[in-house]
């Protein structure tokens, strides 16, 4: 589709900066997500994960820096860059007065796809994600897991080269999580690239080939899982980098 060479990263963030008033949210963040990688973006709450991903997907304008999707700058050629990217944003609502099938169809048609392709892909996605029975129900009546799955389907319907998923496993039951995981793994195996944010270390350790650790708006470590882990457990490494809060103090009055 694009003439960018294979060595161009699927997502390249250069010197991203964002302040909210006086508080810096993201500071001089550089990040490369290689093609075909399954990238885990981890960090404590409020570390700047969502802010970073919002700047990469066009939802928030960075104060400085650039974001490139397969070599195309998101802020210079937004239409072209967004065409290669599928996004599942965290904490945003869906058009939940549509039925599941309508929502995925809507996402496909917004991308300018033709009706037949949208129709067959919608059917496929709903089948794979186990939402066939719920295709005619309003999204507002979906459970949390079903909502994440339908949002994921909307993000994938145009077969993007890069999937940016902000907290795809939050509030998702184990069965749905397994379905989502299976779908993402086969997508990566077929050459797609995924970057997902999470704070469940265990999950990232099992799924991802690459990891980036962010805290207080700065990228503390990035690279392949092995490099970042450096021989130890990802969670231990994470705590080592980010630091413990409150130490190991105990509450005396909570000893029953």
Would you say 52 or 205 has its CB closer to another protein?
Answer: 52
Q: Are 195 and 155 in contact (CB under 8 A)?
A: no
Region 75-114 residues binding another protein, contact defined as CB under 8 A: 78-79, 81-83, 85-87, 89, 91-99, 101-102, 105-107, 109-112, 114
The site map against another protein for 39-68 (x = CB under 8 A) is: ------------------xxxxx-------
Would you say 88 or 221 has its CB closer to another protein?
Answer: 88
Region 209-248 residues binding another protein, contact defined as CB under 8 A: none
Q: Are 138 and 97 in contact (CB under 8 A)?
A: yes
Would you say 126 or 204 has its CB closer to another protein?
Answer: 126
Would you say 16 or 155 has its CB closer to another protein?
Answer: 155
Matching residue, tokens 């077969």: 159
Q: Are 163 and 192 in contact (CB under 8 A)?
A: yes
Please list, in sequence order, all residues whose beta carbon lies within 8 angstroms of the beta carbon of residue 29, skipping any fewer than 6 positions away.
13, 15, 16, 17, 48, 52, 65, 214, 217, 218, 219
User: Across-strand partners of 198?
Assistant: 42
What is the token pair recorded at 91? Answer: 């904490």
What residue ranges bind another protein (CB under 8 A)?
57-61, 78-79, 81-83, 85-87, 89, 91-99, 101-102, 105-107, 109-112, 114-115, 118, 134, 136-138, 140-143, 154-155
């Amino acid at each position: 589709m694009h003439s960018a060479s294979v060595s161009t990263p699927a997502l390249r963030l250069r010197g991203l900066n964002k302040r909210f008033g006086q508080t810096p949210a993201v500071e001089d963040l550089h990040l490369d997500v290689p093609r075909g990688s399954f990238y885990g973006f981890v960090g404590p709450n409020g570390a700047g994960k969502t802010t970073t991903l919002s700047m990469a997907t066009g939802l928030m304008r960075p104060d400085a820096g650039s974001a490139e999707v397969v070599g195309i700058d998101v802020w210079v050629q937004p239409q072209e860059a967004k065409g290669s990217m599928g996004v599942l944003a965290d904490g945003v609502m869906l058009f939940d007065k549509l039925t599941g099938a309508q929502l995925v169809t809507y996402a496909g048609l917004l991308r300018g796809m033709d009706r037949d392709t949208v129709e067959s892909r919608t059917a496929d996605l709903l089948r794979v994600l186990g939402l066939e029975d719920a295709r005619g129900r309003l999204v507002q009546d979906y459970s949390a897991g079903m909502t994440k799955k339908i949002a994921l389907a909307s993000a994938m319907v145009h077969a993007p080269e890069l999937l940016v998923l902000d907290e795809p496993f939050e509030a998702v039951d184990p069965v749905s999580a397994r379905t989502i995981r299976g779908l993402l793994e086969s997508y990566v195996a077929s050459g797609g690239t995924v970057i997902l944010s999470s704070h469940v270390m265990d999950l990232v350790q099992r799924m991802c080939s690459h990891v980036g650790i962010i805290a207080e708006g700065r990228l503390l470590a990035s690279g392949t899982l092995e490099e970042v882990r450096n021989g130890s457990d990802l969670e231990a490494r994470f705590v080592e980098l980010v630091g413990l809060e409150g130490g190991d103090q105990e509450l005396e009055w909570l000893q029953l």
